[in-house]
């Protein structure tokens, strides 16, 4: 199965401020370079060397597309490896990759925004916004899962639901897929006691966050109309 996927696909976006903080002043002009500074060409050469080495080390025939962004402009971009190793299709700077678990970072960021806005608390039980979670196998008043537990992979849930094609389908259908997956998901450990990576856990987290933000919008609209 692994060979049939686009192996080890990732999109890496690097801001120049990262280089500036790590290497001092960056200069694209190699001439008249101040002592103690590193020119951009040297940094790019080092970056290319490390990316190529990473691909060789992983040895899964994957690909990486990289861009350096300054302000609102891409000042450098390059691709390494394959977009499709089985068919020998090289990756390029326009290759579209599967987002995969990078989406978890955005979900967690959204969660913390809602915490900052006092919409939710990290210790809120998910069932407060997503009562359908009670359909989990083994769910009870003693196994209430919180936002923090889902986000930190300590909910105790299995990695995947036991539902055929749970991770396939149209993006617009994702909420229905998550809801359909809940009854076929179960606990593998006691919540809050053990780290256990869970894709279905983050799917549930995303849906609960969506519900909580919608409730806030409805409540604000009701106040405006009162």
Q: Verify that 136 and 216 share a domain, yes or no.
A: yes
CATH of the domain at 204: 3.40.710.10
Q: Where in the sequence is the domain holding 56, given as residue range(s)?
A: 2-90
Q: 74 lies in a domain? A: yes
Q: What does the pLDDT read at residue 36? A: 53
pTM for the whole structure: 0.65
pLDDT at 173: 86
> Among 61, 90, 119, where does a domain finish?
90
- In terms of domains, do 69 and 122 share one? no
Which long-range contacts link 73-81 to residues 24+ away (Cβ below 8 Å)? 75/16, 76/44, 78/48, 80/48, 80/51, 80/52, 80/55, 81/8, 81/55
pLDDT (0 to 100) of residue 24: 41
Q: Are 83 and 106 part of one and the same domain?
A: no
Instruction: Indicate the length of the chain as a whole number.
Output: 226
Q: Examine residue 95 and state whether it is found in any structural domain, yes or no.
A: no
Q: What is the chain's pLDDT, residue by residue, as a tens digit (226 residues)? A: 333 333 333 333 333 333 443 444 444 444 555 555 567 788 888 888 988 888 888 777 788 888 888 888 998 899 988 888 888 899 999 988 888 888 899 999 999 999 999 999 999 999 999 999 999 999 999 999 999 999 999 999 999 999 888 877 788 888 999 999 999 999 999 999 999 999 999 999 999 999 998 875 544 554 444 4
CA angle (85 as vertex; 84, 86 as ends), nearest 5: 95
| Final residue in a domain of this structure, among 90, 117, 149 | 90
Answer with the one of 90, 110, 143 that is the final residue of a domain: 90
Q: Within this chain, do residues 123 and 186 fall inside the same structural domain, yes or no? A: yes
Q: How many domains does the chain have?
A: 2
Tokens of 79: 């691709």
Q: What is the pLDDT of residue 102?
A: 87
User: Do residues 71 and 120 share a domain?
Assistant: no
What is the DSSP track for 68-103?
EEETTEEEEEEEEEEEETTTTEEP-TTPPPP-TTHH
Residue 137 CB-half CA count within 13 A: 13
- What's residue 134's pLDDT? 95
């Amino acid at each position: 199965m692994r060979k049939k996927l686009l192996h080890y696909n990732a999109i890496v976006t690097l801001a120049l401020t990262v280089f500036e903080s790590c290497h001092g002043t960056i200069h694209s002009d190699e001439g008249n370079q101040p002592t103690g500074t590193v020119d951009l060409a040297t940094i790019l050469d080092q970056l290319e060397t490390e990316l190529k080495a990473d691909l060789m080390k992983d040895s899964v025939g994957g690909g990486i597309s990289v861009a350096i962004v300054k302000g609102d402009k891409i000042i450098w971009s390059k691709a390494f490896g394959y977009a499709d190793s089985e068919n020998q299709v090289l990756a390029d700077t326009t290759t579209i990759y599967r987002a995969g678990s990078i989406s978890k970072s955005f979900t967690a960021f959204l969660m913390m925004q809602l915490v900052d806005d006092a919409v939710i608390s990290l210790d809120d039980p998910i069932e407060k916004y997503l009562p359908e979670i009670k359909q989990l196998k083994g769910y009870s008043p003693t196994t209430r899962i919180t936002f923090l537990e889902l986000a930190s992979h300590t909910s105790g849930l299995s990695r995947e639901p036991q539902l055929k094609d749970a991770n396939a389908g149209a993006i617009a259908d994702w909420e229905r897929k998550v809801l359909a997956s809940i009854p076929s998901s179960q606990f593998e450990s006691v919540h809050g006691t053990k780290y256990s990576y869970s894709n279905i856990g983050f799917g549930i987290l995303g849906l609960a966050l969506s519900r909580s933000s919608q409730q806030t919008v409805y409540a604000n609209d009701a106040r405006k109309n009162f």
